[in-house]
Structure 1
Amino acid sequence: MSQASTAGAEPEFALTNFRVRVLLVDDQLLVVEAVRRMLADQADIEFHFVTDPATAVDCAKRLQPTVILQDLVMPGWDGFDLIQRYRACLQLEHVPVIVLSSREEAASKAHGFAVGANDYLVKLPDRLELLARVRYHSSAHISRLQRDEAFRFLRESQKHLAEANIELQKLAALDSLTGIANRRRFDEMLHSEWQRGQRERRPLSLLLCDIDCFKMYNDTFGHLAGDLCLKKAAAVMTACLKRPADLAARYGGEEFALVLPDTDAAGARTVAEECLRALAELNIENPQASHRIVTMSIGVATLVPAAGKSPAELVEGADRALYAAKDGGRNRATSAVAQAVQTNTGSGSSNTP
C-alpha cells in the first residue's frame, strides 16, 4: 500500500494506489503478442493473458485486473458467455470488459453491451486508441475500488468510534477508585428508576451506607490502606446485590448508595443486613473504633414514586435514617419509618464513639 505523508507525519489511512492491470483473453498467440507490444513500453500498465478460455474466470479472480480484453470467438467457447460469467462473479462483476472482436456487425456490438461489456473494439485496434480506452476504463474502475475502500474504512472508523464512545460512557459512569458506579451514574439511575416506578406504581428503595469511623482508620493505617478498605467495602456491597437492575454506587468519600428498584421495605432491609454481615465477616481491623473492626451504618428508605413526590424525598429519608443509625450506635441499619435495628453480628452497641 502506498501512503502519502503530510508535514513528515504518516496519516492513519491512505487509499491504495492500484496499478492498471490488463488481462487479455484470446486463443490466438499472434493477437496476444501484438497487444503485448502495444502496451510494453507503458511502465504503469501490467499485462497478463490467457489463451485457454476455460481458465479465464479463475485467472481473473486471482489477478483482479482493472480491465479485461475479451475475444468473442474461441474454440468451444462463446466470448459473450464468458462476459456473463464475469458479471455473475461477485469479485468480477464491476471489472470493465472491452470486447476485442473481428466482428463489426451492429448486432454483435449490441449483444456485447447487453450481456455486460463496457466497450467494443474491432481487432486489432490502433495502439493509441487501445491505450486510451484501457486507461479510461481502468481509471473508472480504480476510482470505484478506492471509493469502496474509503467507505469500508469509514464504516470501520465509525464502528470503532461507536465502541470507543460506549467505553467512554461506561468509564464516565464509574468511580475511578472502587470501580463501581459514581455519583453521576447514581443520580441518572435514581431519576430513571423513579420515573419507571411512578409509571408502574412499584416501590423503589434506597440504602445510604457510610463506613464507620473511617477517619480513624485512615489516621491509623494511612490513605493507601484507606483506599483498599473502600474497595473492599464496594466489593461487599456489589456482591450483596442479586439482580441486574440493582445498583451500587460511591456516593462520596466513604459513603455508598444502593438503588433497589421494585423492592419493598422488607426486601431493602434484608439487603442492608446482608451488607452489614458481609463487611463484618471481613474482620478488617480498626483498633481506634468502638467495634475494633471496620463496620458501616446504613439508612434505608422506601417509597412508591407518585405525582407530587420527588427522588429527593427518598434521598432525604435515607439520609435521616443513616444519621439515626449513627446516633444509635453504628454498625446497624435503620429504616426511615422504623427504629434502629441491631444486626445479628454481635457487634452492635448503643454507644456512639
Structure 2
Amino acid sequence: MAPAASAAPEHEPFCVLLVEDQASLRAQLCSELQRAGATEVLQAADADAALQLFKLRRPDLVLLDIRLPGSEDGYWVAQRMREAEPGGWTPIIFLSGLDGDGDLWRGIEAGGDDYLVKPVRPIVLAAKLRAMRRLRDMRRRLVQLTEELHLANQRLNEMVELDPLTGLVNRRGFDRILHSEILAARRDGTPLTLMLCDLDHFKRYNDTLGHVQGDECLKAVSRVLREVCMRPRDTAARYGGEEFALILPGTPRSGAMTFARALGKLLASRALTHPDSPGGHMLTLSGGITTCVPDATTSAESMLIRADEALYAAKAQGRNRFFSFEMQMDTIEQRHL
C-alpha cells in the first residue's frame, strides 16, 4: 500500500461523509481517508442516515455507495442531496462494483461528480481526495473574491455618486435616486416632494470673502441639509454650484412647507454671515417646492422643471423663502396663516 499521509494539505479541516452499508469496508475506507488527509469522516450505512448527516453537517465531500439497504439507492440519495443545497455544491463521488458506461452516466445525471470502482486503491482514493480538496479551496476563494469585488463596486459607486466638497450626493446620484423614488411613489401611490434650493446672492459672497471661504460656507450649508434630512430615504444633494436639491419621499404638500420652514429656521440658527447681502448680513436660502403623487406622465425632468419654476417665483417674491405652486403660497405667507 502506497503511503498517502501527505497527499492532502492539512491547513484547513476537510470533512468527508462516507456512505457504505458494509461495516468492514466502511472501516477500511475510513482509515484510508484519514491517512489521505481527511480531518473528519462521518459514517452512514443507509439512505436516511446519509441525508440526515448531510443536512446537519454539510461535509466537504461525499463518498456514496450506489447499492444501499432499503428501497432507496445511492442515485436517489445524490438527487436529494442536490435538492438540499440550492446554490451550493458538495462534490459527490460514487462507489460501486459496477463499471459500465451506463452506470457512470446515470451517476452523473443523478448529481454525482466522479465514479470509483470498488475495491478502491488507496493511492487513487488519496488522489481523488486531494483533487476535491483543491476544488473546494478554489471555490471558497472564488466566493471570497466575488464578495470582495461586490463590496469594492459598492464603495466605488458610493464614491462616484458623492460630491467631494460637501459629501452630499452629487448630480449623478441625485438623478438616479430621483428616478428610483418616482417609480416607488408611483407604485405605492404615495406623495413625493422635490425641493431645489439656491443660496441667496452667493456670487457676492464669493466676490467679498473669496472662493476658499465660499467652499467652507457650502460645507456648512451641507451639514444643515444633512441634519434636516432625518428619515432614512430623505436625500440631500448638491445640484450644482451653490444649488442644492432635496428628495423627500412620502411627504405631502403641507408637510413639504413645514419641512421648508424648519430648514429655514435651522439655517438661521447657524448665523452664517454674508457681509455683502442686500437683505442683511446673514446667509439665506431660497427654494422651490413641487409635490405630487407620480403617475405615468411624471418624470424626473417634469419635476425638476416644476421645482425650478417655483424657485424662480421664490426669488421674484423677495428671496429667503420657499414657494410651492401646489400650495400657491410661500413659507412667509404660510407662517402668517
* TM-score of Structure 1 vs Structure 2, range by shorter chain: 0.5 to 0.7
Gaps of 5+ in 1: 1-19, 24-44, 47-59, 66-77, 97-111, 122-132, 346-353
Q: Structure 2: any 5+ residue segments left out of the alignment?
A: 15-23, 42-60, 64-94, 98-115
Counterpart in the other structure of 1:265: 253
Deviation at 1:188, TM superposition (A): 1.8
2:332 is aligned to 342
Q: 1:243 aligns with which of 208, 222, 231?
A: 231
1:91 aligns with 2:39: yes
Given candidates 275, 290, 312, the residue that maps to 1:301 is 290
Match of 2:72 in 1: none
Aligned ranges 1:59-78 → 2 under 5 Å: none
Matched, 1:180 2:168: yes
Aligned partners of 1:169 and 1:231: how far apart in 2? 22
Where do 1:158-307 residues align within 5 Å?
158-290=146-278, 291-307=280-296
Distance 1:90 1:141, change over 3 A: closer
Match of 1:144 among 127, 132, 142: 132
Which residue of structure 1 aligns with residue 49 of structure 2? none
> Which deviates further from its counterpart, 164-173 or 138-147?
138-147
Does structure 1 retain, via aligned residues, the 8 Å contact 2:175–2:300? no
| TM-score normalized by the length of structure 2 | 0.63
CA contact (8 A) 2:261 2:331 kept: no
Is it true that 1:333 corresponds to 2:322 in the alignment?
A: yes
> TM-score, normalized by length of structure 1?
0.61
> In the aligned structure 1, how far is the partner of 2:12 from the partner of 2:281?
78
RMSD: 3.9
- 2:313 matched to which residue of 1? 324
Matched to 1:314, the amino acid is M
- 1:125-180: CA deviations, max 9, x gaps? xxxxxxxx776655444333332222222111111001111111222222222112
Whether contact under 8 Å (2:33, 2:125) holds in the other structure is no
**Cα distance in structure 1, aligned partners of 2:28 and 2:217:** 75
Q: Which residue of 2 aligns with 1:312?
A: 301
CA–CA separation in structure 2 for the residues paired with 1:138 and 1:87: 7
Aligned mates of 1:230, 1:240 — CA distance in 2: 15
Identity %, equivalent residues: 35
Whole-angstrom distance in 1 between the partners of 2:11 and 2:149: 34
Aligned-partner Cα distance in 2 for 1:87–1:138: 7
What residue identity is the alignment partner of 1:216? R
